[in-house]
Amino acid sequence: MFEGIFVPDDVRAAVSDAAWLQALLDAERALAAAEAQAGLISSDAAEAIAAACRAELYDAEELAAAGRAVGNPVEPLVRALGARAGDSGRYVHRGATSQDILDTAAMLVTRRALDPILAELARVAAACASLAEAHRSSVMPARTLLQHAVPTTFGAKAAGWLVAVCDARRRLVDLRAHGLAAQLGGAAGTLASLGEHGPEVLRLFAEELELAEPVVPWHTNRVRIAELGAALDLAAGVLAKIALDVALLAQTEVAEVAPAAGGGSSTMPHKRNPVGSALAGACARQVHAYASVLTGGLAQEHERGVGGWHAEWHALSGALAFTGGAAGATRQTLDSLEVDADRMRRNVDATDGAIMAERIALLLADRIGRREAHELVRTASAGERTLREELEASIEADELDAALDPETYLGSADVFVDRALAYYRETS
Amino acid sequence: MFEGIFVPDDVRAAVSDAAWLQALLDAERALAAAEAQAGLISSDAAEAIAAACRAELYDAEELAAAGRAVGNPVEPLVRALGARAGDSGRYVHRGATSQDILDTAAMLVTRRALDPILAELARVAAACASLAEAHRSSVMPARTLLQHAVPTTFGAKAAGWLVAVCDARRRLVDLRAHGLAAQLGGAAGTLASLGEHGPEVLRLFAEELELAEPVVPWHTNRVRIAELGAALDLAAGVLAKIALDVALLAQTEVAEVAPAAGGGSSTMPHKRNPVGSALAGACARQVHAYASVLTGGLAQEHERGVGGWHAEWHALSGALAFTGGAAGATRQTLDSLEVDADRMRRNVDATDGAIMAERIALLLADRIGRREAHELVRTASAGERTLREELEASIEADELDAALDPETYLGSADVFVDRALAYYRETS
Amino acid sequence: MFEGIFVPDDVRAAVSDAAWLQALLDAERALAAAEAQAGLISSDAAEAIAAACRAELYDAEELAAAGRAVGNPVEPLVRALGARAGDSGRYVHRGATSQDILDTAAMLVTRRALDPILAELARVAAACASLAEAHRSSVMPARTLLQHAVPTTFGAKAAGWLVAVCDARRRLVDLRAHGLAAQLGGAAGTLASLGEHGPEVLRLFAEELELAEPVVPWHTNRVRIAELGAALDLAAGVLAKIALDVALLAQTEVAEVAPAAGGGSSTMPHKRNPVGSALAGACARQVHAYASVLTGGLAQEHERGVGGWHAEWHALSGALAFTGGAAGATRQTLDSLEVDADRMRRNVDATDGAIMAERIALLLADRIGRREAHELVRTASAGERTLREELEASIEADELDAALDPETYLGSADVFVDRALAYYRETS
Amino acid sequence: MFEGIFVPDDVRAAVSDAAWLQALLDAERALAAAEAQAGLISSDAAEAIAAACRAELYDAEELAAAGRAVGNPVEPLVRALGARAGDSGRYVHRGATSQDILDTAAMLVTRRALDPILAELARVAAACASLAEAHRSSVMPARTLLQHAVPTTFGAKAAGWLVAVCDARRRLVDLRAHGLAAQLGGAAGTLASLGEHGPEVLRLFAEELELAEPVVPWHTNRVRIAELGAALDLAAGVLAKIALDVALLAQTEVAEVAPAAGGGSSTMPHKRNPVGSALAGACARQVHAYASVLTGGLAQEHERGVGGWHAEWHALSGALAFTGGAAGATRQTLDSLEVDADRMRRNVDATDGAIMAERIALLLADRIGRREAHELVRTASAGERTLREELEASIEADELDAALDPETYLGSADVFVDRALAYYRETS
């Protein structure tokens, strides 16, 4: 029930039992195909095996029940597949160990799940880019430690989101392209039962699945699993940052953005809850936890871990699922976001000039010294009267007007928007 | 598929969609019952609502899909329940907010899932107690930093496991008895829409469900959720310790215990893998991650969190499920454990007396000084000849025989077994 | 440099090298004293050892350098202490292993560091209680998902903080009283070298240090370490919740509270940053990480862990230090908090009645049905006109005035303040 | 005291207060230099500032104490530096915010600390490469789930370690070269106070420090911090894997390797504890925790986080320090490792052929069918008699001898050693 709330249907499907089952079978099919190419088994056998490698022929629950005794689902699947493949059944799984199949399947599941995730991330980036372009001139308060700092633009803010999304997405794109490798080491990483054909079968197996060929079997070198976990965590964290900012901007008192209508409360009809922000934030917390299982599992014993390996399957599935959830929720949030540029500007003005304190202090510093200027502005900002009123004695009216104009104190905001958009175009 | 491998069926059922749905409905039913008792709604209405509070009348997937827009499954469930309850539908959910129902349901799910978990933990404790009693006299090497240290008994080792299991179980028992509280605060913790009846309804609601009545609503005081997470993590960690020791004792070269036959390899017929250890260890890693979501989510915003709360549902379910998995796997491992006391004893003897180095050094210290004795024994242990051979010059044969006898160097091992068993009887 | 910013001086001192060194020496001293009482060594020897058990006689850096080779600081300390104790030096550390001393010292360090931590937590609780009492009638917006929900009082909000602090503090108080145990197991948990005197020495040793006597040695039963970690995490998390709420309330647009002046910016003179909130939040993140080392280290090998144990020392020190940091920062924040009750009230009114939507919807529900009422209020809240304007057609002016009065829609806020204060008095 | 045990002196120095202080000053110096180049301040002023940018002129403890009120050490440092720079003091920190200086300093500290870390990692890789080459022919049992699986070579095992170290090192090398960027955004990321000169100063500032120029300021885009955390976690995890394997191989019953003499016990003279393994494992646990602070802190509020940012400083220092610790301990362990190839071979033989079960089963499968063969070998392995004795009836003596020869069942072990060594040469 909860996964249905958090995880988009396409990502859920990509990490479902059916998807894992098919990926396991794809690995077995590819192994037979590679061995046929290498002349170790006949093409007929490979074809008979391929024909039996369809997930719908098997029952995941049954395999799980049978897998409990051996600690993985591959062993019962190999038996079931062997039975289905008739006379060719004896050529199933030749030279492989369960981990070869499971790790390779994990790579396939990852690649397939990354498709909808990367697509959503691309849409998130596109939404950020649109906002950055559209709101170049929407002046708003920049906030540090949740306090008004100086003016910025919503375009610059969205540009900051955009760069982070591009960074996180690029890492996942890189890992999808280069970080997914076939696993084939046999019983304990020597491919002994394939005799001298080991390396050839490994190469053909990897080619067949369009996965990278690893330098050596990686049964207990879990770098690529840990890197996947870290990269998913990164993506989810970047999405949570956007989601958090949206929730903060949507606060009743701030009201600079409004999430899509629909996030109602069961009892309070007036509310427009930032539901997408809540979902994305919740997803990111799950991803962080799952990623921690993956990055925390590098120290596996000898040639196959006792538990560390087993913990990866559920954690990798979960990390993919909830990264997809974070991406989906953030994308929906941004796509339906109502931006109130007028309110942004009113919020800039709401402190009657205090947001311009840095500029005023710099102006005065040239006249009365830095420390004195800082102190004067600090006192002025803290008083009953507005900063303008306090400063009228020290600064000419025209000069004060100019100094208090936020539109002329945006520095490089616009340049940074351009740079972010250029970076986006380069990296996407 | 993976949950089926790791999580026992009864625990899976206890945290399933159906279980959550029923718990949500139980909360709604109890709320109506409490309000009827308080005279806020009629008994007839409460009964009509109760009649509609059966999980099988609703579809979890549909609720999840509808719940995505509002960010939780309660709002659509309230609508569906209202519709089913006919004219009494308007009295459903009166005064409550979605979080009241979800948090209360979380308490019910936790209580129900703790039943099989605690039962398994009790069986694990019983198995440890049996081993402690049965193997009081099974002398084996104690190992520190994975090196032979001095002799101990397998009884003393199991006594150590036993105390840890009792500790961890007691914490869960305490929390089950005192740590599960009803949640009822209304829209934002004031129970405003119940007028002056708030506290009475809260009391009756808690009584109806046999949950503790909280001091105040705890919408963003997540101490009890964090404590549950920590306690489950504790239990799973203690189980993982036992599982790890079993796997280490079952190593081919050590062979002091053997896990149940059945943990075969798909390719290596001779293997008896410590499958239960792998499963328990993997489960403990998931629980640690889920618990981290729960303990890491204490800082929730104002009167309801943006994401921190939402992250708890999946994490709590998962922490319960995999703690159950760790308990089940460890229990099965211990129940079917073959202990080879002869091999234990042979392993003690395998270093020809080196395991008695502490005693010998103490013996010599009185004669030649502590540092000199330490150095003599260190050198002797490192040489080609056995410790006995090295020492024959320095110590009389009879005395050396006595000093090298592990049976007489077990210290308080037996006393500790007694103390652990007494503690077990007290706390269970 | 960073520790100096985050951790109060008294807590830093309590977990400093000097504090650890003294605790290690206290354990050695107590061991000699216990053995003297048991008649194993002479009183003179015990006294000579005691005289040498002063931290200032030893150099922590030197011990650390020497400890690298053996993997802990106890072994070189025992050598140095033995040398200093002259003829009695040979009676130092009798029957103990390094872990006995280090674990016992960890308990002493914990107890000593908990003193200032618990004192700060008591002050935080007192500050919450004061705020709860003083602001019973300060009406403010309750906020769920960062949106205005219904009115509450700042008193009720502080009452919620108070209960959480009491809960977290009570757990630490419990563990301080009952969770700190002496460690004495000898080389591998059997106390073999003490012969039949093991249990007696253990009892006397524990008494000497006023620590609990454990059922059996707990060299690899790390439940109490994990529980300490979890309890510190709980406390830090509860403090971070308060700190977060303060930072949110202090936002420029919300301005319901202001942190102490002083949290200035290096460039923006107008700012009053919620520095205490930032520090407390940062501390809580460190504590969560350190606690994760402690709770994640339960599965230690056989009779002494290979690394899991070693990881605890730094993590426990850090968890204590930064919990103290979170407590100190939160206490300072609350003690100097400026509360603007007028602004709270103005914020309630700022949405022209929308915050009363729940009440209006309930009022209308009796007349036109629940769903219709919900829809009417939802539409009204979303429109250009205020809720009051929208409703003037449907509800009589007097009734509407009454319905829109937040002061009369506070439900049980005041009762909950009373309950929280009573709970505070009971538990402190 | 504990840091002295775990962290090598050079890495400790690289993350010490003095190192941070110098890095902060380097950032201020470079800022002034950049502004002089851009013509915003005079060269004389920049030189005067540079002259005052020496860490030894400042007191870290004092700065920390002063920094508590503002929540960071930069603000007091800027004041002290300004005072020291005399008339030029007013040009210090121009246009920058505290975070600009601290983030830039973090990059410098990281780069400097990575030097000894990468050097140690290179030595670890070199040691693995030596072992891989030297032990190509040292036949040993491969172990899966801690059970003998099939024969492998110690060379192949070391080759597996080597590839993981190369992978992890390469990631850190990449990040050192491309992932460290200057930070300069001014008060809130717009560089407003630098007027139109912002981008130019940013470029010159980055050049001056040889750091990458970021696309836009990254005050709350913490991707590079999270990636550093993840990469350090990766490296430490890979080292912990090696350390774990060494500890397992050094077990008394296995005895295939022995760590350096010196890891003695305080009471048991015979022990040679795998101290380096314990230290490396402990370090990796700390790094994992610190990394979790860094990867878990991506969601920072608006233009500067409230606590999330502040948590990074200590965590980044710690992650660097303990990664250095893991590298140092592992390097020392490998450099002084005694490998007992004879014992490896004896361990292969210790099960009287059971380790050859896969090959035998394959051999028989061609004759009697796969399942039957598997069952026959399984039963044979479990019986009283040796596998050879059981099989003498089924297989001719010569064939059986050949089949039971581990030297001829090493598959691609040697090829994989070559591939790993080639990969090492390519990537180092």
CA pair distance B70, A82, nearest whole angstrom: 48
Instruction: Check pLDDT > 70 for residue D426.
Output: yes
Contacts of B241 in chain C (CB under 8 A): 220-222, 298-300
Residue A231 clears pLDDT 80, i.e. is over it: yes
Report the pLDDT averaged over residues B205-210.
98
Chain D interface disruption, residue of C58, C62, C68, most D CBs within 10 A: C68
C122 touches chain B (CB under 8 A): no
Q: For chains A and C, count residue pairs whose Cβ atoms are closer than 8 Å.
A: 141
Q: D residues 169-188 near C, CB within 8 Å?
A: 186-187
Mean pLDDT of chain B: 95
| D269 vs B contacts (CB less than 8 Å) | 357-358, 361, 373-378, 381
Q: What are the helix (H) ranges across A38-182? A: 43-52, 60-70, 74-84, 98-134, 154-178
Catalytic residue flag (residue A304): yes
Distance from CA of C256 to the nearest CA of B (A): 13
Closest CA to C128 of D71, B203, B215: B215
Question: Which has the closest alpha carbon to C120: C225, C235, C227?
Answer: C235
Q: How confident is the model at residue B223 (pLDDT cuts 50, 70, 90)?
A: very high
pLDDT, position C28: 98
Comparing CB atoms, the residue among A253, A357, A382 nearest residue C253 is A253
Confidence label for D268 from pLDDT (cuts 50, 70 and 90) = confident
Counting one residue from chain A and one from chain D, the pairs whose CB atoms sit within 8 A come to 305
3-state secondary structure labels for all residues of chain C: CHHHHHCCHHHHHHCCHHHHHHHHHHHHHHHHHHHHHCCCCCHHHHHHHHHHCCHHHCCHHHHHHHHHHHCCCHHHHHHHHHHHCHHHHHHCCCCCCHHHHHHHHHHHHHHHHHHHHHHHHHHHHHHHHHHHHHCCCCEEEEEECCEEEEEEEHHHHHHHHHHHHHHHHHHHHHHHHHCCECCCCHHHCCCHHHHHHHHHHHHHHHHHHCCECCCCCCCCCCHHHHHHHHHHHHHHHHHHHHHHHHHHHCCCCCCCEECCCCCCCCCCCCCCCCHHHHHHHHHHHHHHHHHHHHHCCCCCCCCECCCCCHHHHHHHHHHHHHHHHHHHHHHHHHHCCEECHHHHHHHHHCCCCHHHHHHHHHHHHHHHCHHHHHHHHHHHHHCCCCHHHHHCCCCCHHHHHHHCCHHHCCCCHHHHHHHHHHHHHHHC
Enumerate the residues of chain D whose CB falls inside 8 A of the CB of residue C236: none
**Best of C143, C171, C302 to mutate (most B CBs within 10 Å, chain B):** C302
- Which of D143, D144, D146, D368 has the highest number of chain B CBs within 10 A, making it the mutation to test binding with B? D146
The 8-class DSSP code of residue A141 comes to E
Q: Tell if the CB–CB gap between D270 and B374 is shorter than 8 Å.
A: no
- To the nearest whole Å, the CA of A298 is away from the closest chain C CA by 15
Cβ separation C358–A268 shorter than 8 A: yes
pLDDT average, residue stretch A244-265? 89
H or E segment at A203?
helix A198-209
Indicate yes or no: CB of B75 within 8 angstroms of CB of A264: yes
Instruction: Verify whether the Cβ–Cβ distance A307 to B280 is below 8 Å.
Output: yes
State the average pLDDT over residues D243-259: 97
pLDDT at D373 over 80: yes
Q: Which of C145, C274, C357 sits opposite A146 (nearest CB)?
A: C274
Question: A29, A94, A169, A304: which one is catalytic?
Answer: A304
Distance CA(A172)–CA(A239), nearest Å, equals 14
Distance CA A259, CA A330 (A): 11
Beta bridge partners of B139: B153
Subunit contact D304:A168, Cβ cutoff 8 A: no
What pLDDT does residue B385 have?
A: 82
Q: Does the annotation count B371 as an active-site position?
A: no
Whether residues A2 and B313 touch (CB distance < 8 A) is answered with yes
Could you tell me the CA-to-CA distances from D343 to A189, B253, D131, D254, D349 in Å, in that order? 21, 12, 16, 8, 10
Nearest CA in chain C to D269: C187
- DSSP-derived secondary structure letter, D153: E
For B384, counting Cβ atoms within 10 Å of its Cβ (0-12 exposed, 13-18 middle, 19+ buried), the class is: exposed
Tell me how close the Cα of C5 comes to any Cα of chain D, in angstroms: 5
Q: Which of B372, B224, B392 is nearest to B312 (CA)?
A: B224
Give tens-digit pLDDT for D316-340.
999 999 999 999 999 999 999 999 9
With 0.95 as the threshold, say if the pTM is over it: yes
pLDDT exceeding 90 applies to what percent of chain D?
A: 87
D118-153 per-position pLDDT tens digit: 999 999 999 999 999 999 999 999 999 999 999 999
Are C311 and D286 an interchain contact pair (Cβ–Cβ within 8 Å)? Answer: yes
Q: Using 50, 70 and 90 to split pLDDT, how confident is the model at D237?
A: very high
Asked if B147's CB is within 8 angstroms of D251's CB, the reply is yes
> What integer pLDDT is reported at residue A417 of this predicted model?
98
Asked if A199 and D415 count as a contact pair (C-beta separation under 8 A), the reply is yes
For chain C positions 78-117, those within 8 Å of chain B (CB to CB) are 82, 90, 97
> Of D193, D265, D370, D412, which one is the catalytic site residue?
D265
Length of chain A: 428
Report the mean per-residue pLDDT for chain A.
95
End-to-end CA distance of chain A: 35
Q: Minimal CA–CA distance to C201: which of C227, C219, C183?
A: C183
Contact by Cβ (8 Å): B110, B320: yes
Taking only the tens place, the pLDDT of each residue in A282-331 is: 999 999 999 999 999 999 999 999 999 999 999 999 999 999 999 999 99
Q: How far is CA D164 from CA A175, C95, D234, in A?
A: 16, 43, 9
Residues of C in contact with B146 (CB under 8 A): 301-302, 306
Asked if B189 contacts C156 with a C-beta cutoff of 8 angstroms, the reply is: yes
Task: Identify the CA nearest to D236 among candidates D154, D296, D164.
Answer: D164
Closest residue in A to C383 (Cα–Cα) = A270
**Which site among C74, C310, C366, C416 would you substitute to test the B interface, given the most B Cβ atoms closer than 10 Å to its Cβ?**
C416
State whether B142 and C189 contact (CB < 8 Å): yes
- C-alpha B341/C-alpha B353 separation (Å) is 18
pLDDT at site D304? 97
**Per-residue confidence (pLDDT) for residue A236, from 0 to 100:** 98
Q: Please report the pLDDT score of residue B262 as a whole number.
A: 65
Query: At residue A197, does pLDDT exceed 90?
Result: yes
Q: How many helices (H) and strands (E) does chain B have?
A: 18, 4
Distance between CA atoms of residues C140 and C349, nearest Å: 9
Q: Are the beta carbons of A361 and A375 closer than 8 angstroms?
A: no
pLDDT at A59 over 90: yes
- Rounded distance, CA D89 to CA B260, Å? 76
**Residue of C12, C29, C176, C304 marked catalytic:** C304
Contacts of C250 in chain A (CB under 8 A): 146-147
pLDDT for res A88 = 95
Tokens representing residue B124 in the block: 């694990």
| H helix or E strand, kind and range, residue B367 | helix B357-368
Segment among B364-373, C335-344, D268-277 with least mean pLDDT:
B364-373
* Residue D171 backbone zone (phi > 0: left; psi -120 to 50: alpha; other: beta): alpha
Mean pLDDT of A263-291: 89
Please indicate if any CB of chain D lies within 8 Å of the CB of B426.
Answer: no
pLDDT of residue B29: 98
Query: What is the chain B residue with the closest CA to D382?
Result: B270
Least trusted range by pLDDT, from A209-213, D370-374, D399-403: D370-374
Contact flag D149-B268 (C-beta cutoff 8 Å): yes
Residues of A in contact with B285 (CB under 8 A): 293, 296-297, 307-308, 311, 315
B163 CB neighbours in chain C (<8 A) are 215-216, 218, 221
Contact B307 A293 (CB under 8 A): no
Sequence-distant (≥ 6) Cβ neighbours of residue D242 within 8 angstroms: D124, D128, D161, D164, D165, D280, D330, D333, D334
Query: What is the reported pLDDT for A308?
Result: 97
Residue C306 sits at the chain D interface (C-beta within 8 Å): yes
Q: Can you say whether residue D77 is alpha, beta or left, with left for phi > 0 and alpha for psi between -120 and 50 degrees?
A: alpha
Under DSSP, the state recorded for A218 is: -
Q: What percentage of chain B has pLDDT greater than the value 90?
A: 87
Best mutation target among D241, D309, D356 (most A Cβ atoms within 10 Å) is D241
Lowest mean pLDDT among A337-346, B350-359, C32-41: B350-359
Which residue matches tokens 């983030």? D103
What per-residue confidence (pLDDT) applies to B329? 98
Q: Which of B265, B371, B378, B425 is catalytic?
A: B265
| Residue owning tokens 């049905």 | C369
Over residues D38-53, the mean pLDDT reads 98
Distances in Å between the Cα of C339 and the Cα atoms of A305, B274, B389, C333, C413 are: 56, 61, 82, 12, 18
Q: Is A148 in Cβ contact with C269 (below 8 Å)?
A: no
**Beta carbons of D420 and D132 less than 8 angstroms apart:** yes
Written as one string, the DSSP assignment of A259-294 is PPTT---SS-TT----HHHHHHHHHHHHHHHHHHHH
Q: Which pLDDT score is estimated for C262?
A: 65
In the predicted structure, residue D419 carries a pLDDT above the cut 90: yes
What residue ranges of chain C have pLDDT lower than 50?
A: none
Name the pLDDT band for D264 (thresholds 50, 70, 90): low
Nearest to A310 by CA among B393, D237, D144: D144
| Inter-chain CB proximity C5 and D93 less than 8 Å | no
CB neighbour burial string for D330-361, b if at least 16 within 10 angstroms, e if fewer: bbbbbeebebbbebbbebbebbebbbbbbbbb
Average of per-residue pLDDT values in chain D: 95
